[in-house]
Chains A and B, each alone.
Chain A
Amino acid sequence: GEDVEQSLFLSVREGDSSVINCTYTDSSSTYLYWYKQEPGAGLQLLTYIFSNMDMKQDQRLTVLLNKKDKHLSLRIADTQTGDSAIYFCAAYSSASKIIFGSGTRLSIRP
């Protein structure tokens, strides 16, 4: 069935760039998303990219999509302590549902 995979942990130094990677299996996924979950809260949509795009930039966030390899990444420039959270990659599947990865916990070192 459809699957979305991402690494569980990432630690970066404050001020550096964070890159969170994700792979998905459904080649017909039309929309791909990044969600952010802060402690004790629900998931918040950060950004999304349509499958006919290679890149999308929104302030400190850059999303790169490699459709051939079914690989999605989220780059956070100038990472701050407020960026500490769990980041979920998600893909809109051909079964009309969004499939979520297990989340990447981003921690920031001073």
Chain B
Amino acid sequence: NAGVTQTPKFRILKIGQSMTLQCTQDMNHNYMYWYRQDPGMGLKLIYYSVGAGITDKGEVPNGYNVSRSTTEDFPLRLELAAPSQTSVYFCASSYAGQEYGYTFGSGTRLTVV
């Protein structure tokens, strides 16, 4: 019963490099989300998806891209990494009904130097 799995757990990138943060869920949830959490701050929504083939921007989408080719996977792509993207990234998923809230992954800690 894995829930939401994120890889990698830690990564250091140089400025200008690119990478993909992986997120997989095995609960057959339709909705998936990417958040970033800056030190001492709350969660900011980057992108979300309400089903395979459908994605939409959140509050802070600039510098990121997503795709949702399957129900299970929702990768987040960082192009041309910048120091401002140093953060902890959380993937989450949910059923369409909100009474269950979100199930979160354990996060990816990214540092851009």
Closest chain B CB from A52 CB (angstroms): 12
Asked if A98 contacts B42 (CB within 8 A), the reply is no
Interface size class of B (residues with CB under 8 A): 20 to 34
Asked if A102 contacts B101 (CB within 8 A), the reply is no
Interchain CB contact (< 8 A) of A45 among B41, B42, B101, B106: B101
Closest chain A CB from B44 CB (angstroms): 9
Known: A88-B43, A102-B42. A45 touches B102 (CB 8 A): yes
Check if A42 is an interface residue, CB within 8 A of chain B: yes
Check if A97 is an interface residue, CB within 8 A of chain B: yes
- Contact string, B71-113, partner A, CB cutoff 8 A, digits 1/0? 0000000000000000000101000001111111111000000
Check if B34 is an interface residue, CB within 8 A of chain A: no
Interface size class of A (residues with CB under 8 A): 20 to 34
Known: A30-B98, A35-B101. A41 touches B42 (CB 8 A): no
Give chain A's interface secondary structure class: strand
Asked if A100 contacts B42 (CB within 8 A), the reply is yes
**Complex Cα spacing A96 to B97, Å:** 10
**Complex Cα spacing A8 to B39, Å:** 12
Asked if A97 contacts B106 (CB within 8 A), the reply is no
Interchain CB contact (< 8 A) of A42 among B41, B58, B90, B101: B90
Closest chain A CB from B106 CB (angstroms): 5
Q: Which A residues touch B42, using CB under 8 A?
A: 88, 100-103
**Complex Cα spacing A90 to B104, Å:** 14
Check if B13 is an interface residue, CB within 8 A of chain A: no
Check if A33 is an interface residue, CB within 8 A of chain B: yes
Check if A43 is an interface residue, CB within 8 A of chain B: yes
Closest chain A CB from B54 CB (angstroms): 12
**Complex Cα spacing A7 to B102, Å:** 22
- Contact string, A20-60, partner B, CB cutoff 8 A, digits 1/0? 00000000001101010000111111001010000000000
- Residues of A that sit less than 8 Å from B by CB: 8, 30-31, 33, 35, 40-45, 48, 50, 88, 90, 92, 96-98, 100-103
